[in-house]
Amino acid sequence: MLDRYYQTATQFDASAVVRITADCPVIDPVVVDAVITGFLSGNYDLFGLDGEFPDGLDCTVFSLSALKKARLNAKLKSEREHVGPYIENNPQLFNNGSLKIFKGLQLHRWTLDEPEDYLLLTEIFETLHNPDSLFLTHDILKLLQIRPELLSINHKIVRNEGYLKSIKNDGVFND
């Protein structure tokens, strides 16, 4: 994945890349804009959403120079399979920043990896989708206040399970 991000950025002569994954169908454009603004406000190599945010709002901006350095130096499989770990784990080499705008929402799961996630997201979309307007994080939170039973649909799924599995099976990457 790291190499694909770097190759794509160089192919399009991008100086930075915004990472939003396809398994986050309720990504909030207001949050994405805030992360991009944070990245642009400083000389950052990485700037992303951090803190107690719902899983599914993840977004991060990487500079091309950071992607290049990570691609050349990352040795662990987990650092190459995922875009950010090498950069995040080497703050002495990179200028990393973050935006913390949520509190107490880290147990919310609004991503699509498991059948239970699909069930929850179906409920969210069936209730909030309107072809004439977007629904945002605050709309989902209002829905969950009215219907707290929805939170139990996918609450047993471990956050970042794929990345944790990568770390568990880590080894040195060989080209």
The reply to whether 16 and 100 lie within a common domain is yes
On the CB side of 134, how many CA atoms lie within 13 Å of its CA?
Answer: 9
Domain co-membership, 55 together with 13: yes
88 with 131, same domain: the answer is no
Same domain, 55 and 89: yes
**pLDDT, tens digit, for every residue of 106-157?**
999 999 999 999 999 999 999 999 999 999 999 999 999 999 999 999 999 8
Contact status, residue 62 vs residue 45, Cβ threshold 8 Å: yes
Indicate whether 69 and 146 sit together in one domain: no
Kindly state whether residue 75 falls inside one of the protein's structural domains: yes
124 and 95 share one domain: no
Q: pLDDT per residue over 55-91, tens digit each?
A: 999 999 999 999 999 999 988 887 888 789 999 999 9
Q: Give the total number of structural domains in the chain.
A: 2
pTM recorded for the entire structure? 0.87
Judge whether 171 lies within some domain. no
Expressed as residue numbers, the domain containing 26 is 2-104
* Pairwise CA distance, residues 146 & 38, whole Å: 33
Strand bridging mode 16-19 / 46-49: unpaired
* Of 101, 99, 102, 117, residue with least CA distance to 159: 117
| 82 and 43 both lie in a single domain | yes
Residues 42, 99: Cα–Cα separation, whole Å: 13
Q: How many CB atoms lie within 10 A of CB 136?
A: 15
